[in-house]
Structure 1
């Protein structure tokens, strides 16, 4: 009888512990057909042929599978992790953003009412500072993302330590830092300030590598209900060469259908020597809350690119 009571007590305690933690499997499947004349910042090569596309410039997003978990440590403190791997639906191979199997995310965090501290490979503050106002949800074919590369930083950092503040009525900030030995002997800092409350979304992204130029992006959007307008000004650099300009665009929503037009214009472009006006037209139709079809045309630095596909989130 005593052994039975002890066993029940152990099982009860175990069940309580399990109830305080959770692990979630999630992912994205995105594939279609398209033609790509331009390479992309992510390293996708141009083919100039209409073909099956997965993980390309003209997909809405990269297919991926990930696992994330969180444990309630008590007293308002939580611990969590996120591992995420890319998938190429063309052949089933790993599509690593950075070369590793968990190339999209590999990080650990602690959080509470004081904010969140994170360590590892993760989407960086400049990325979040851009997506606070960008119209496509940071699609692969985002004209702002491709022209100014998320304030010149790209979407992810390796070996990053970061702290994000709590939300103060829609206002938050995050700062990330990479130590010198983890970034080719050149320390890097990356930060954002975001305001998201009601119809307004705005974000400032700033980052700098030691001895490099300061990259930045400042943008905002306003939601009128069925119509959203957005504008921004950004500077991205590669070494001592800078690309600088503004964006202006809008999204109109008609039930399950949404149409986006977004334009960028260079005011300075030392990377190519020519100033470009780039543009994106995107159409999406929601089949459900997690699945939509899309078509997009991207005019990028004198190249024409298009894609038609289906995206399913799970």
Structure 2
């Protein structure tokens, strides 16, 4: 009888503990068939391909939380790449998309590890083409090899803070520790912050990023990125637009990018997305110019599976007006969430 009571007590205690924590396996598998073209003139190459992640990057992950009491929770998320076309994973074999441990409560959320630059979520909130990999609006300069590289997307050795929602307004701050200081050079660092207002059909955001790279292997330099964007859902159509400016101090280089798009529901299961972007670069008087277009469509077969199709094209010209890049993709695919 005592053993039975002890067993029941242990099971009850175990059940209570398990009720306070949870772990979820999740992911996206995206496979598509189509044609890609890269290069200009005689140097161009056209391929027929079966690819993974052309619309949404294929991935899998684990995430969970534990209720610590008093409104405090411990949270984690581990996420890895997945190639649906070859069955391979990340080159490192690890969780190099995300590796985050944090605490959340009335104060907001604090995360530690390898995590996304907060400008990424802000950019995606007012992006066209469902913020997919077919989009060219975020910004097109990244595809065109503009005068200034894009901000660092995932930041290792970082500490991030997300505020509570203040009547639609949230703030994010992230600091990345370079950990590469030597006797002859300082440490690299990344500081990024965003403020996003989201209320009903309206989204408005502001973001700033400062990337300092130490000079152990190359001369030290600093990149800065400033982003302002917005979107509004009118019901029959959702419109979005944004402006980005990026600078690199050592080459006196500047990129300016503008983009716009719209989303149109077609019935209850389909959507069509249009996007356009234009960029101008200037590095010590050497100018570049580029633009890009994208059109995509999705059709829901269920809540977790949809079909998609898309076409995009990016072009770049140098100061003389000579085309230096002319790339395009035409793809059809299927995407499943689990």
Question: What TM-score do you get using the length of structure 1 for normalisation?
Answer: 0.89
Name the structure 2 match of 1:293. Answer: 307
CA distance in 1, matches of 2:163, 2:180: 24
Q: Tell whether the 8 Å contact from 2:113 to 2:158 is kept in structure 1 after alignment.
A: yes
Q: Is 1:78 matched with 2:78?
A: no
2:197 to 192, 195, 206: 195
Point out where structure 2 has 5 or more consecutive residues left out of the alignment: 144-148, 213-220, 316-325
Question: Is 176-185 or 13-22 further displaced after alignment?
Answer: 176-185
Name the structure 1 match of 2:231. Answer: 221
Q: Tell whether the 8 Å contact from 1:249 to 1:261 is kept in structure 2 after alignment.
A: yes
Name the structure 1 match of 2:264. Answer: 252
CA distance in 1, matches of 2:6, 2:50: 60
Q: Tell whether the 8 Å contact from 1:219 to 1:232 is kept in structure 2 after alignment.
A: yes
Q: How far is the alpha carbon of 1:47 from its aligned partner?
A: 6.0
DSSP-derived class of the 2:279 partner: strand
CA distance in 2, matches of 1:113, 1:47: 54
Name the structure 2 match of 1:283. Answer: 297
DSSP-derived class of the 2:130 partner: coil
Q: How far is the alpha carbon of 1:155 from its aligned partner?
A: 3.0
CA distance in 1, matches of 2:29, 2:120: 22
CA distance in 1, matches of 2:171, 2:211: 20
> C-alpha offsets along residues 228-268 of structure 1, whole Å, 9 cap, x if unaligned?
01111012456643321211111111121211111111243
Note the 1:15-30 alignment, pairs <5 A.
Answer: 15-30=15-30
Question: Is 271-280 or 157-166 further displaced after alignment?
Answer: 271-280
Question: Is 285-294 or 60-69 further displaced after alignment?
Answer: 285-294
Note closer, same or farther for the CA distance 1:100–1:273 as it changes in structure 2 (3 Å cut). Answer: farther
1:177 to 175, 178, 181: 175
Q: How far is the alpha carbon of 1:100 from its aligned partner?
A: 4.7
Q: Tell whether the 8 Å contact from 1:63 to 1:86 is kept in structure 2 after alignment.
A: yes
CA distance in 2, matches of 1:205, 1:38: 32
Answer with 1 or 2: which has the greater Rg: 2
CA RMSD between the two structures: 2.3
DSSP-derived class of the 1:131 partner: helix
DSSP-derived class of the 1:181 partner: coil
2:166 to 148, 165, 168: 168
Note closer, same or farther for the CA distance 1:148–1:109 as it changes in structure 2 (3 Å cut). Answer: farther
> C-alpha offsets along residues 58-116 of structure 1, whole Å, 9 cap, x if unaligned?
x11111111101000000000011111111112111135xx452111111010001100
Q: Tell whether the 8 Å contact from 1:280 to 1:299 is kept in structure 2 after alignment.
A: yes
Q: How far is the alpha carbon of 1:38 from its aligned partner?
A: 4.5
> C-alpha offsets along residues 159-192 of structure 1, whole Å, 9 cap, x if unaligned?
1100000001111010000123169821110111
CA distance in 1, matches of 2:247, 2:154: 16
Q: Tell whether the 8 Å contact from 1:159 to 1:182 is kept in structure 2 after alignment.
A: no
Point out where structure 1 has 5 or more consecutive residues left out of the alignment: 40-45
Name the structure 1 match of 2:243. Answer: 233
Q: Is 1:137 matched with 2:130?
A: yes
Name the structure 1 match of 2:208. Answer: 206
Name the structure 2 match of 1:313. Answer: 337
Note the 1:29-48 alignment, pairs <5 A.
Answer: 29-38=29-38, 48=46
Q: Tell whether the 8 Å contact from 1:148 to 1:236 is kept in structure 2 after alignment.
A: no
Q: How far is the alpha carbon of 1:136 from its aligned partner?
A: 2.8
Q: Tell whether the 8 Å contact from 1:127 to 1:154 is kept in structure 2 after alignment.
A: no
